[in-house]
Amino acid sequence: MKRTRTAAAALALTALLGMTACARPAPAGVADLAAEPGVPEASASVTPSDDVPPELQVIPSASAPAGQGASDDEEEAVVEPPTVAKTQKWVKIFSGPSDKDITPPESITSGSKTVELNATENDEIGTYVTDGAGRTLYRFDEDDNKPPKATCNGDCAKTWPPLLIKSPGKIFPKGIDPQILGYVERADGHCQVTINGWPVYYFAKDAEPGDIKGQGVKGTWFAVAPDGGKTQLPDGGSAPDSDSGTGGGTGADSDAGPVENPPAPGY
Tens of pLDDT, residue by residue over 48-102, are 445 545 444 444 544 445 555 545 555 566 768 999 999 999 999 999 999 999 9
pLDDT reported for residue 80: 83
Higher per-residue pLDDT: 34 or 196: 196
Classify residue 132: in a domain, yes or no.
yes
Identify whether residues 98 and 159 lie together within a single domain. Answer: yes
Classify residue 59: in a domain, yes or no.
no
DSSP assignments along 194-218, one per residue: EETTEE-B--TT--STT--TTTTGG
Identify whether residues 95 and 187 lie together within a single domain. Answer: yes
Classify residue 6: in a domain, yes or no.
yes
Residue 126 reports pLDDT greater than 80: yes
Identify whether residues 28 and 91 lie together within a single domain. Answer: no
Identify whether residues 29 and 88 lie together within a single domain. Answer: no
pLDDT reported for residue 171: 98
Identify whether residues 23 and 133 lie together within a single domain. Answer: no
Identify whether residues 110 and 26 lie together within a single domain. Answer: no
- pLDDT digit string (tens) for 206-256? 999 999 999 999 999 999 999 999 999 987 665 544 443 434 444 444 345
Identify whether residues 138 and 14 lie together within a single domain. Answer: no
Identify whether residues 91 and 7 lie together within a single domain. Answer: no
- pLDDT digit string (tens) for 5-30? 555 555 555 545 544 457 665 555 54
Identify whether residues 20 and 97 lie together within a single domain. Answer: no
Classify residue 63: in a domain, yes or no.
no
Classify residue 57: in a domain, yes or no.
no
Classify residue 202: in a domain, yes or no.
yes
Give the residue from 44, 50, 46, 38 showing the smallest Cα distance to 170: 38
Amino acid symbol at 190:
H
Identify whether residues 140 and 219 lie together within a single domain. Answer: yes
CB 171 within 8 A of CB 113: no
Quick one: which H or E segment has residue 14? helix 2-17
Residue 263 reports pLDDT greater than 50: no
Quick one: which H or E segment has residue 122? strand 112-122
Mean pLDDT score, 112-136: 97
Domain count, the chain: 2
Classify residue 186: in a domain, yes or no.
yes
pLDDT reported for residue 235: 75
The parent domain of residue 185 ranges over 84-223
To the nearest whole percent, how much of the chain has pLDDT over 70?
Answer: 59
Classify residue 265: in a domain, yes or no.
no
Identify whether residues 23 and 116 lie together within a single domain. Answer: no
CB 149 within 8 A of CB 141: no
